[in-house]
Amino acid sequence: MDSLNFWVIQTFNGISYGALLFLLGAGLSLIFGVMRIVNLAHGSYFLLGGYVALTVIWTTGSWALAIPVAALTIAVVGLLMERIFLRPLGFDPLRQVLLTVGFAFLFQQAALDIWTGNNFDINPPQALTESVEFAGLFLPLYRVFMIATALAIGIVLWLAMEKTRLGAQVRATVDDAQMARGVGIDTSRISMMIFSLGAFLAALGGVIGGAFLGVYPGLDFEILPLAFAVVIIGGMGSLGGAAIGALLVGLADNFGKALFPEISYFTLYAPMALILAVKPTGLFGRE
């Protein structure tokens, strides 16, 4: 029974971590799909989201208010970054990628100046810190909340992508940006929207993840490779792929740490490299 418990609990933890990674990875994946760039400032959005949420909590005391304010603030940051700096570079992925790194450094310093170098935790409301009993197991309610949030966001995104006109335009841009422009889709506007949506989702992840990862300098570049793992395994530009990738990375990370602590990160990144070598567009990405 004990060993069964171990597997169930670890699986649950893995899934809830995967839920967080989905929020981070979905945006990164869409940005890649639309703009063909890897946004190395994506981890910074995650971290800044957590910091902005802290400020909101300190000033208003409201955790529920902190989530939308932080996510929207960072969405605006992403929007400005895309409009003012990335867009003028035109279609030059390498320079755009390098530019995002420059911003990651600037954000790092800004965060250090504004929020100091201390480690913070984002404390969720009392109601979410309890545990629910399910089939004889005590599951932390907060992790259930994380899974529910990711699920809700995922469904909304999926519906928007599959059922709306705008979603169809985004999919067309992912498939072939040049052709999409040819049929009159404003791909520049699509890029702008997707970039700020990605920043929004990453910041949302940062707020929600702040409760158990904490918020501290360096988190940005610690979480970034995991987001890449999600995107690579799932396939770049694919929402469903990001969901599956997030789940796999969440589980692999959890079980890796529990079962083979000495090589736990290796067990995460080596499969990622192998997948890329065999199928550069990821498991579920389109050629």
Partner 1 sequence: MTSQQIKILMVVVALGALAVIVPNTNSFVILLSTRALAFAILVMSLDILLGYTGLASLGQAAYLGVGAYATAILATTYQFGLGMDFWLVILFGMLVGAALAAVFGLLAIRATGVYFLMITLALGQCVWGLAYRWNSLTGGDNGINLRVKPKFAGLDLGHDVTFFYVVFFLFALSLLAMYVLVQSPFGRSLAGIRERELRMQILGYNTWLHKYIAFIIAGGFGGLSGVLWAHTAGIVSPENVVLTTSVDALLMAVLGGAGTLVGGVIGSFIVFGLREYLSTLVPWWQYVLGAVYVLTILYLPFGLMGIPERIRQWRASSGKQADPKTLASVPS
Integer Cα distance of 121 and 116 in angstroms? 14
Q: How do strand 131-134 and strand 137-140 relate by DSSP bridges?
A: antiparallel
270 binds partner 1 (CB under 8 A): yes
What lies within 8 Å, CB to CB, of 182 at 6+ separation is: none
Least distance to partner 1 from the beta carbon of 106, Å?
A: 4
Least distance to partner 1 from the beta carbon of 273, Å?
A: 4
273 binds partner 1 (CB under 8 A): yes
215 forms beta bridges with 120
Least distance to partner 1 from the beta carbon of 153, Å?
A: 24
Least distance to partner 1 from the beta carbon of 152, Å?
A: 29
| The two structure tokens encoding residue 264 | 């736990």
Question: Smaller CB distance to partner 1: residue 87 or 181?
Answer: 87
One-letter amino acid at 191 equals S
Q: Which residue among 38, 67, 77, 192 contacts partner 1 (CB under 8 A)?
A: 38
Least distance to partner 1 from the beta carbon of 41, Å?
A: 11
92 binds partner 1 (CB under 8 A): yes
Instruction: Give start and end residues of each alpha helix (H) in the chain.
Output: 2-35, 42-60, 63-80, 93-115, 141-163, 165-175, 177-182, 187-209, 219-234, 239-259, 264-278
The total number of residues written for the chain in this structure = 287
Least distance to partner 1 from the beta carbon of 134, Å?
A: 32
One-letter amino acid at 52 equals V
Integer Cα distance of 240 and 15 in angstroms? 15
Q: Which residue among 144, 255, 265, 283 contacts partner 1 (CB under 8 A)?
A: 265
Hey, is 133 helix, strand or coil? strand
37 binds partner 1 (CB under 8 A): yes
Chain residues binding partner 1 by CB under 8 A are 32, 36-38, 40, 85, 88-90, 92-95, 97-99, 101-103, 105-106, 108-110, 112-113, 221, 224-225, 228-229, 232, 261-266, 268-270, 272-274, 276-277, 280-281
